[in-house]
Amino acid sequence: MKHPTTQAPVKKFFIRGLMFGGGGPLVLGIVYLCLHRALEGFSLSGFEVFLGILSTYVLAFIHAGSGVFHKIESWSPSKACLCQMSLLYASYILCYVLNDWLPFEPLAIAIFTTIFVVGYGAICLTVYLSIKAYAKRLNRSLR
């Protein structure tokens, strides 16, 4: 039998992923529609559309579920952030390279990696500082 603290986050990961996974293909459809209207001669093969839909569904599924790392009480916030960032990075890079949205070249991947890490770090820092300020206000009101 699995340990209950491990089982619950895994179950939550899949439930959250299933609930929100459809958002990726919806956004992809809107992007494809805008490209079709903006660029004369824009077209995609059936395989390109299928790959885009499938990969953005998986990406949205993983993205939605990845917040579960922060729900594991025995993990430090830095461990949860590192695990979430690693999973999201691997998912994004794979999706972008598979769809040819990002060339599989060292410089392109290095630029993407830098932007991703800086962006993710900025978001984590903002969330951390917001929660810290909220906790401080809450503690003051309790005194």
Note the pLDDT tens digit of each residue in 8-28: 777 888 887 777 777 778 888
CB 72 within 8 A of CB 80: yes
Model confidence band, residue 84 (pLDDT cutoffs 50, 70, 90) = very high
* The model scores a pTM over 0.85: no
Dihedral (Cα; 80, 84, 86, 87), 10-degree rounding = 140
Integer Cα distance of 38 and 36 in angstroms: 6
CB 42 within 8 A of CB 74: no
Measure CA 64 to chain center.
7
Note the pLDDT tens digit of each residue in 130-143: 989 999 999 998 88
Tell me the residue type at 87. Answer: L
